[in-house]
Amino acid sequence: RALAQRVVFQLGLSEKPDFLFPTPNFSLSNIFYRAFGISKSPSIEEKTPEEREKIAIGRVMKDLTVTLVTNTSLLSIAFADQNPKYASDIANQVAQSFIDQRLDQTSETSDLARQFIQEQVLQVKQKLQKSEEDLVAYAKDAGITITGDDKSLIGSNIEALNTALATAIQERLDAGRMVDQIDKGRGASLGPVLESEGLQKITDKLADLTSQYQQKLGILKPGFPEMQQLQAQIKELQRLYNNGVLTITDSLRQKYQEAQNKEADLKSKLTEME
């Protein structure tokens, strides 16, 4: 529903009477009402903004069809409407709104990550201050004089580790989000996969062959040699695509492991200095 609401807002569908109250162009009643100049559809002014939005969202959800293209990871988005422009605009906006929604979710996660890092930085600074106070107290009890340069050096080292740790935590969180998507079966939708030129070429070819197969399916039976050849090509391309995705996702998992190790190492060094 949230996605449909985005589409309605972006296209202003709640303010379009012909979308809210569609009437079949060639119905007998419609011809009659047009002939006598009578408006059959409810007036948009009769509905509150909330009611119009609810109607528009309901229409989008009711007439929208999203299907997975056979033997691919591609989605086919279609919207049924007697107005070709609505059919095209809404289908395109659904795709764009889906992308925007994913970006918003990623941004929200990044904000939480930044907040977490800021809290970590504050904790480290507090520990740093406590360590310096303990050092001064120990030196005083032992009759040792500590110069400002000595304290500054200790603080600088801890501060450098703190900065590196903050970066490592961010890298681990970023990599972790990638792995989380992989574990949920969404590896094919990750940026590194979508940005792969090799996989993009395979996807384009796969979509082309699948389209050819679907078109010929209305004429030829699946067992026909030409159809079997197309099936074999589609199957091979899908195998290559899946292997490519697996290679990329495996490298992302490795990156996540490396980020975890780096973070743990920096935390260990910081603990030693404290």
Spans of all domains in the chain: 1-63, 106-273
Quick check: 61 and 4 in contact, CB under 8 A?
yes
CA neighbor of 2 nearest in space, from 120, 138, 98: 98
The distance of Cα 34 from the centroid of its chain, to the nearest Å, equals 47
CA neighbor of 19 nearest in space, from 6, 8, 10: 8
Q: What is the pLDDT of residue 33?
A: 47
Per this entry, what is the length of the chain?
A: 274
Between 140 and 84, residue with greater pLDDT: 84
pLDDT above 60 for 54: yes
pLDDT above 70 for 151: no
Of 40-44, 61-65, 238-242, 264-268, the one with minimum mean pLDDT is: 40-44
Quick check: 172 and 259 in contact, CB under 8 A?
yes
Name the phi and psi angles at 67, rounded to 5: -130, 155
Only one residue has tokens 């009643």, namely: 29
Cβ neighbour number for residue 86 with a 10 Å cutoff: 20
Between 233 and 133, residue with greater pLDDT: 233
Which residues is 78 bridged to in the sheet?
Answer: 65
Highest mean pLDDT among 34-43, 81-90, 108-117, 263-272: 81-90
Q: How confident is the model at residue 138 (pLDDT cuts 50, 70, 90)?
A: low
The distance of Cα 131 from the centroid of its chain, to the nearest Å, equals 43
CA neighbor of 70 nearest in space, from 214, 186, 184, 224: 214
Token reading at 200? 């993009």
Full-model pTM: 0.45
Name the phi and psi angles at 65, rounded to 5: -130, 125
Q: What is the pLDDT of residue 131?
A: 65
Q: How confident is the model at residue 254 (pLDDT cuts 50, 70, 90)?
A: very high
- Between CA 70 and CA 76 the distance in angstroms is 10
